[in-house]
Structures are given as structure tokens and as C-alpha cells.
Amino acid sequence: MKGFNRIIAAAVIIMAAVIIILDAVMLKSEKLSQPLYKVEVSRIERELSQGAQVSAGDYPHITGIYSYDGSPDFYSSDGEYLIREINGQLWRIDYTDSEPHSSGRTFVLMNVFLAAFAAAVIGILLYIRRSIIKPFNEISELPEKLSKGNLTIPLKEKKSRYFGRFIWGLDMLRQELEQSRQRELEYARNEKTFLLSLSHDIKTPLAAIKLYAKALSKGIYTTADKQRSAADSIDGKADEIEGIVKELSANLSSDFMDFDVRSGEFYLSEVMDEIKNYYTDKLSVTRTEFNIEKYSDCMLSGDPDRLVEVLQNIMENAVKYGDGRSISVSFSEEEDCRLITVANTGCTLPEEELPHIFDSFWRGSNTGSQSGSGLGLYICRRLMALMNGDIYADTALDTMKVTVVCRKPE
């Protein structure tokens, strides 16, 4: 804000300096220039000295030209006049200087124009300061506050035409981060409770197993029946622990991510325009051939933002695991659905691994040194399921194809 205030002050000083300099130049030039009647008098003197006939009607600022005839009235006139001696003869030249100088009008007009221009520039700068710089300065610290975890205070709504949607988006981000933090706390609480419960449940059968094993090792059970009974007890406690482990595995393999899907109706072009605008520039840098097949626009059912997320995950996999030669997007119809297929060349995924690519935390043998979490396609499957759609993949030669099935409104 202070920096922009200095810019406004500098603009005012520069404008004032320009006006002062131009005024000084105009005044100086006006002083140096002769009035028009003096120019005409000089012409008359020259013509009379050459013996030419002159007439006052030929000069706009001359009202009379008289030679001295000895009359005393020669030196009297109702207006302005000059006496000149030309070739030994006295001449009286009457003139008028009542017409305003054009330079004076130019001077006034120039100052009016410069003042209006300066006012317009300063007005624009003040408008930018009030409508853009000041609101932006007020929200410039918000991302830092959000990064520090200050998520509980709602953002003040602004009726700014420039930052209204930006502030709304930041507040949505704040709410999402706050909900995410609450979910993390809830997960941590549940995890701690689960581990404590698991520890308690395992401790009892484990203590029994250790007791039976110790008794057997010390020969406390002398008869075959008691030894068999102790072995059966150990086996039963082991089964109990195995059941607890299976329950743990089931809990860990269950869905652990929540997704906010706001279903509605939208046009296919809304989603594809975002994909095209982003990946056309990105893939041109890597010189990857990128082609989106022509399609007929239609209404789809679901969340457009989530569908964009799904297609972006698929595209990123195509960029990461393809050979960089070609990526294409094609379309097809199937009953009441529109199918969107992303295909990339350079597929090295073994066919037997194809059924697992949508599992959580699973990464194929073709990933190599590429970083990743193994959640991208899993998230795609979850999102498409929440939008009543589907997703599947297949391979052909060296091409990987991932198809998204989008429902049309009923």
C-alpha cells in the first residue's frame, strides 16, 4: 500500500512539473513573439520606402495610413497610432490591437487539457488503490494465516468485483482445511482407541499361550491328556489372535478417505475445456502429441469439479508412465452414458496386473523410479462410484486406455 501511495505522489509531482514547464515555455515564446500589428507596420514601412502604394484595407490590424500635410490634426487620433519617417516623409499609421492573441487561447486550452488529463490519471490511480490495492492488501496475509492453522475465523465477505470470488474461494478452502483437520483428529482418536483395544484383546490370549508353553516346557503336565489339552488351549488362543488380526486387516483395508461430491448437471464441454486448456500448454513443452477427438456436447450428471479431478489423475498417469509420444482423448456412447477414454502410448504394464490398478496403495511393476502413492486411480474409482459412474482400463499392444463412464441426466 505504501509503495502504491508513493507511485500516486510521484504521478502528481510529474504532472505538476509537466504543466509548469509547458506553461513556462508558452509564456517565453509569447514574450518573444511580436504582436501582429507590428508585423503589418513593418511591411507598410518597407512598401512605402520602395515607393509602392499602400492601403489600410489590405491589413487586418491597420485602421488608417496618413502622410503629414502640415495639419495639426496629424498628431491626434481616437485610437492607437505610430509615427514613422519614411524617405524624408512623416507617416501616421493607425492600428488596433483589440483582437485577443491566438497564443492566449492556446495557453488556456493547453492548461485545461493538461489539468483534465492529470485529474483523470490521478482518479484512475486512486480507483485502483481503493478497489484493487487496498482489498488485496487486506487479504494478502490470509494464505499465511491458513498455513499456520488459523482456520476457525470466517473470512469477511467483500463486495469487490475483483476479489469477491477469490475471497469466497479462500473461505471454502479454509472450511475444507478445517474439516480435514477435524477428520484427521477423529482418525487419530479412533486409531488410538483401536490400538488400545487391540492391545488389550491380544494381551489376554497371549498371556495364556505363554503360560501353557511354560508349563509344557517345565513338564508340569505329565500325562498325555493334559499335554493334549494344553496344546488345544494354545491352538484356541492362537485362533483367537488370528481372528483379531483378520479384523485389523479388514479395518485397514476398508475405505479410509472421505470425498465431498456435489452432484448436479453440467455440460461435457465445461470439463473438457479445462482439460484442453491445461494440458495443451503442458504437453507442448514435452513435445507430446495431444489430441482431443471432436465430440457432440451433452449434459452429464455428477460433480464437474470431481470429474475434472478424475481426468487429471488419468492424464497425469499417462504423462508419468507413457513414453511421451502421444496422448489422446476419445468419446463414445453407451445406452444412457457418455464414455471418455484417455489413451497413451508406451504402456509396459503386464496384463496380469491390470485388475489391481484401482486398488489403494497398489503400484505396478512399470512404475520404476517414478514417485507416487498408489492412490490416484483408487481415488478415481471412488469418485466415479459416488457419481453413479464407473471406470475401467485395458491395454492393446503398447497402448494404455482408461475409460470413464459418465451418466447422463434421467
Read off the pLDDT band of 353 (50, 70, 90): confident
Tell me 73's DSSP state. G
Report residue 18 CA to chain centroid gap.
38
Of residues 265 and 52, which shows the higher confidence score?
A: 265
Topology of 166-253 in CATH? Answer: Helix Hairpins (1.10.287)
Question: How does pLDDT run across 214-250, given as a tens digit for each residue?
Answer: 888 888 888 888 888 888 888 888 888 888 777 766 6
CA 194 – CA 198 distance, rounded (Å): 6
pLDDT bracket for residue 33 (50, 70, 90): low
pTM of the model: 0.49
In 3D space, the residue among 407, 390, 387 whose CA is nearest the CA of residue 262 turns out to be 387
Q: What is the pLDDT of residue 252?
A: 55
As a whole number, mean pLDDT of residues 283-297 equals 92
Residues of the chain with CATH 1.10.287.130: 166-253
Query: What are the CA-CA distances from residue 32 to residues 27, 155, 278 (Å)?
Result: 9, 66, 66
Of 281, 299, 298, nearest to 290 (Cα)?
Answer: 281
Average pLDDT over residues 289-316: 93
pLDDT digits (tens, 9 = 90+) for 84-127: 888 888 888 888 875 545 556 777 787 888 888 888 888 888 88
Q: What percent of the chain has pLDDT over 90?
A: 20
Enumerate the CATH 3.30.565.10 domain ranges in the chain, comma separated: 264-407
Q: How far apart are CA 372 and CA 316, in angstroms?
A: 11
Superfamily the domain 264-407 falls into: Histidine kinase-like ATPase, C-terminal domain (3.30.565.10)
Percent of the chain exceeding pLDDT 70 equals: 82
**Position 268 confidence tier, pLDDT thresholds 50, 70, 90:** very high
pLDDT of 139-169, one tens digit each?
676 676 666 666 555 666 555 566 666 777 7
* Maximum mean pLDDT: which of 43-52, 70-79, 322-331: 322-331
Q: What is the pLDDT of residue 178?
A: 74
Q: CB burial class (10 A; 0-12, 13-18, 19+) of residue 13?
A: exposed
Residue 329: pLDDT band (50, 70, 90) is very high
What pLDDT, on a 0 to 100 scale, did the predictor assign at position 357? Answer: 87
Look over the chain and give the mean of its residue pLDDT values, rounded to a whole number.
Answer: 81
Query: How high is the pLDDT of residue 25?
Result: 78
Residue type, 46: R
pLDDT at 299: 94
Among candidate residues 137, 143, 145, 141, the one with its CA nearest the CA of residue 163: 137
pLDDT tens digits, one per residue of 166-180? 777 777 777 777 777
What is the signed CA dihedral for 244, 245, 247, 248, rounded to 10 degrees?
120
